[in-house]
Amino acid sequence: MKQFSLLLFLALFIVSQSFAQKEKQYKVSIVGFYNFENLFDLEDDPKINDDDFTPNGRNQWTQEKYDIKMGNLAKVISELGTEMTPDGIAILGTAEIENKKVLEDLVQQKAIKNRNYQIVHNDSPDFRGIDCALIYNPKYFKVTHQEALKLILRDKKGNVLKNDKGDPKTTRDVLYVKGLLDGEEVHILVNHWPSRRGGEKATQHLRNAGAMLCKATMDNIKKEDPDAKIIVMGDLNDDPTSPSVKKILKGKKNQESVGEDDMYNPFYSPFKKGIGTLAYRDAWSLFDQILVTPSMLKKNKPEGFFFHKIRIYNEKYLVSKNGRFKGYPFRTFSYGEFLGGYSDHYPVYSIFLKEVKK
């Protein structure tokens, strides 16, 4: 009996060792997006409409409030993706930032300073002066190219829209960044498409234009490299089921149905379940999305990083506990009143894996 027990133990040990040898190891990369909700400095810039965010403006934007906002955002950024890797997020697209200075102040905040985040930013022609940008950890990502792609606003007949002064209406550029993620080339398009002010249907063509700009850019990239890994992210001001995302970007809800000219949109399923990143009049929207080309899907057996899963970062402390926005993202301002919150959007991120070759 003792001999049988010993043989059984040895057999089980050999089996367990065999499974351990077959277990795969992966590198992790976290890529996210966060709308910072009006991250302005204190200075009055005469070239843009930033009057509300000055010490004497509507929001009485003081150094104390600025510091609170900075500390809050840095806290959130410091936590993103840390359940997968202690270094947290490697690449973060952003929206609603006034200039490079506010990002320089942000990356120096105590909670994230040791990560040495670097900045990609271009001033856009938006009349409020808010831009898209990218911050990244140089330990994981190296920028090789950056470009501001102009989004021209036109009416439904194709005419360039004009403001009251007769000048062309302006909006945020699409920020295009190419770089090496752990030595692997990826292309990133950071967006903040035109809002729904004036009505969703009446303004849909403006967001469609943003989607078409991204699609045209991706088509050009794929002419050079059909297997290019491309990430489209941003505050799209549209949901995964909107024409801009579903029809123009061809964002599919299931990986199995993603063709060569499609994108995979992992935010489709949570949206259909009623989960969102911002709320308005008791209705949730999921405007903050990250889509990937089929070259980043595991089913296509890509070399290097492939998509694993997403997360909408809606921790309890990021939710308003009371007031007219109870249950919504804990925002910074409400009709001029400083609430001391974080943003009126939740951040989102995607987790990418790369198998470590033994």
Domain membership of residue 174 (yes or no) is: no
Residue 20 has pLDDT above 60, yes or no: no
User: Which of 156, 145, 154 lies closest to 120, judged by CA?
Assistant: 145
- The C-alpha atoms of residue 217 and residue 214 are separated, in whole angstroms, by 5
Residue 218 has pLDDT above 60, yes or no: yes
Residue with more model confidence, 334 or 41:
41
In percent, the amount of the chain with pLDDT more than 90 equals 83
User: Which of 101, 188, 174, 170 lies closest to 132, judged by CA?
Assistant: 174
Quote the crossing angle between the two packed helices 100-107 and 63-79, to the nearest 10°.
60
> Which of 160-169, 171-180, 224-233 has the least mean pLDDT?
160-169
Domain membership of residue 177 (yes or no) is: no
Residue 109 has pLDDT above 70, yes or no: yes
* pLDDT for the residue 13: 45
Domain membership of residue 11 (yes or no) is: no
Residue with more model confidence, 72 or 158:
72
pLDDT grade for 5, boundaries at 50, 70 and 90: low
Residue 219 has pLDDT above 50, yes or no: yes
Question: Phi and psi dihedrals of 65, rounded to 5?
Answer: -65, -40
Nearest 10 degrees: Cα torsion 160, 161, 166, 171: -110
Q: Look up the CATH number of the domain holding residue 315.
A: 3.60.10
Residue 12 has pLDDT above 50, yes or no: no
Domain membership of residue 82 (yes or no) is: yes
Strand boundaries in 299-347, DSSP class E: 306-312, 333-334, 337-338
What's the pLDDT tens digit per position in 121-145? Answer: 999 999 889 999 999 999 999 999 9
pLDDT grade for 300, boundaries at 50, 70 and 90: confident
Residue 9 has pLDDT above 80, yes or no: no
Domain membership of residue 215 (yes or no) is: no
Q: Quick one: DSSP state of residue 118?
A: E
What's the pLDDT tens digit per position in 46-59? Answer: 889 899 999 999 99
Domain membership of residue 212 (yes or no) is: no
Domain membership of residue 15 (yes or no) is: no
Which residues constitute the domain of residue 92? 25-140+229-355
6-19 average pLDDT score: 44
pLDDT grade for 166, boundaries at 50, 70 and 90: confident
Residue 334 has pLDDT above 60, yes or no: yes
Residue 18 has pLDDT above 50, yes or no: no
Residue 6 has pLDDT above 80, yes or no: no
Domain count along the chain: 1
Q: Quick one: DSSP state of residue 115?
A: G
For the entire predicted model, the pTM comes to 0.92
Burial environment of residue 47 by CB neighbours within 10 A (0 to 12, 13 to 18, 19 or more): exposed
What's the pLDDT tens digit per position in 273-282? Answer: 999 999 998 8
Question: Phi and psi dihedrals of 14, rounded to 5?
Answer: -65, -40
What's the pLDDT tens digit per position in 289-299? Answer: 999 999 999 98
Domain membership of residue 347 (yes or no) is: yes
What 3-state DSSP class applies to 268? helix
As a whole number of Å, the end-to-end CA separation of the chain is 40
